[in-house]
Amino acid sequence: MIKFPSIGQFRNVVQNVKHKASYVGKDEAGNPVFQDPGAYPKLKFTGLVKLHGTNAAVVYGPYAELSFQSRERVLSYEQDNAGFCTHMSSRREEVMELVDRVWDAIAPHVETEGHSLAIYGEWCGGNIQRNVALTQLPKMFVVFAAKIGEQWLDISAVNLRGIDPSIHSIYEFPTYSLWIDFNQPEVAQAALTSITQDVEAECPVGRALGVSGIGEGVVWFRSDDLDPEYWFKVKGEKHSASKVKTLASPDLEALANINEFIEATVTEARLEQGLQNLLNEQLKPFDMTSIGDFIRWVHADVVKEESDTLIANGIEHKKIGGPIARKAKAWYVTKMEEAVTA
């Protein structure tokens, strides 16, 4: 299992860049030493359309082994994820063409001996998600990243056209470019917000494939360094896991109390994501026997994504468990009742 990393927020990348620029080494006791760098860097970022589906990967091992993954597990016919393993297994020749094209493009530049190649993408379209343009299209695998060993690969020039109608590269569609001055990261906020709102209003991938409808957002990465510490996502309001006063904020937002924190973080989008995880990753039934698993996922996701918000606002982790559970339980029961009566 070669997991795809979580992608943070703009504020996380601002913190990472400033931290790295200020770090000068360790003292004799092994403690990190920081000093004012005088100025922070100005870095170029590339933006890719973020597709609303489910994370998937094709993995080719060093001994000619081929496997398929979701975000959290290796897939099989019996324990698939929205049909990804079944679909790709039925197209083994096409999948190996995908592997060969990526492999041939990167082999001259990286050490491949003894390493597995992981090709990541979004399995999207059809009934995988709701309320986006891509639901009007057949299911497809849109490749957006690749990794061999511990090295992330530049696949922007890899041509995947013509392999199979259900296999695409995200680089076939519009991309974005933006310089961010980390001395004034708030200046980039307007551009990040504008691009995200345009994508949400009309999905560029859907439009290129002949359908119209909303998109999810944009994923950004440093153009000259593919380290995930420089990745961040900006989702439109309809798909954001947290309610924010401004999109792509470079700073933490102040919250008045726990209730405001719960309102801001336990959103419809996060709860929907939790339900999809329950069904497609945990493989649990949508009934009352699974409500504890659902609540635990929501709680863990809030803590993972919003720990810095908790600390900045002086909210103790132990005090959010009950409020999260109550809101998540009420939502789950309502959705379950709706499913029964539908």
Helix (H, G, I), strand (E, B) or coil at 320: coil
Helix (H, G, I), strand (E, B) or coil at 265: helix
Q: With the CA atoms of 58, 146, 99 and 83 taken in that order, what torsion angle do they form, in degrees rounded to the nearest 10?
A: 20
Between 188 and 341, the more confident residue is: 188
Q: Tens digit of pLDDT for each residue in 186-241?
A: 999 999 999 999 999 999 999 999 999 999 999 999 999 999 999 999 987 765 55
Average pLDDT over every residue of 167-186: 95
- 148 and 219 together in one domain: yes
Does residue 23 form part of some domain? no
- 262 and 203 together in one domain: no
- 194 and 309 together in one domain: no
Does residue 25 form part of some domain? no
- 160 and 274 together in one domain: no
- 111 and 191 together in one domain: yes
Distances from the Cα of 314 to the Cα of 124, 202, 203, 250, 307, angstroms: 39, 39, 38, 19, 11
- 102 and 209 together in one domain: yes
Strand partners, 54: 123
Alpha carbon distance 292, 284 (integer Å): 11
What pLDDT does 314 receive? 79
| Number of independent structural domains in the chain | 2
Q: Counting Cβ atoms within 10 Å, is residue 231 exposed (0-12), middle (13-18) or buried (19+)?
A: buried
- 104 and 227 together in one domain: yes
- 226 and 282 together in one domain: no
- 190 and 58 together in one domain: yes
Between 341 and 244, the more confident residue is: 341
Q: Is the pLDDT of residue 243 over 90?
A: no
Mean pLDDT of the chain: 88
Q: Is the pLDDT of residue 79 over 60?
A: yes
What pLDDT does 61 receive? 83
Residue 272 backbone zone (phi > 0: left; psi -120 to 50: alpha; other: beta): alpha
Determine the structural domain holding residue 82 and report its residue range: 40-233
Does residue 120 form part of some domain? yes
- 178 and 264 together in one domain: no
Does residue 245 form part of some domain? no
pLDDT band at residue 247 under the 50/70/90 scheme: very low
Residue 131 backbone zone (phi > 0: left; psi -120 to 50: alpha; other: beta): left
Does residue 248 form part of some domain? no
Buried b (16+ CB within 10 A) or exposed e, 58-74: bbbeeeeeebbbbbeee
What pLDDT does 13 receive? 93
Average pLDDT over every residue of 140-158: 93
What pLDDT does 308 receive? 79
Does residue 11 form part of some domain? no
- 273 and 186 together in one domain: no
What's 154's domain CATH number?
3.30.470.30
pTM of the model: 0.82
Between 59 and 236, the more confident residue is: 59
Domain end position, chosen among 185, 204, 233: 233
Does residue 261 form part of some domain? yes
Does residue 5 form part of some domain? no
Q: Tens digit of pLDDT for each residue in 80-104?
A: 999 999 999 999 999 999 999 998 8
Q: Which residue blocks in the chain are alpha helix, DSSP H?
A: 10-22, 84-89, 92-106, 189-201, 204-208, 258-265, 268-280, 291-312, 321-341
Residue 117 backbone zone (phi > 0: left; psi -120 to 50: alpha; other: beta): beta
Between 19 and 342, the more confident residue is: 19
- 219 and 275 together in one domain: no
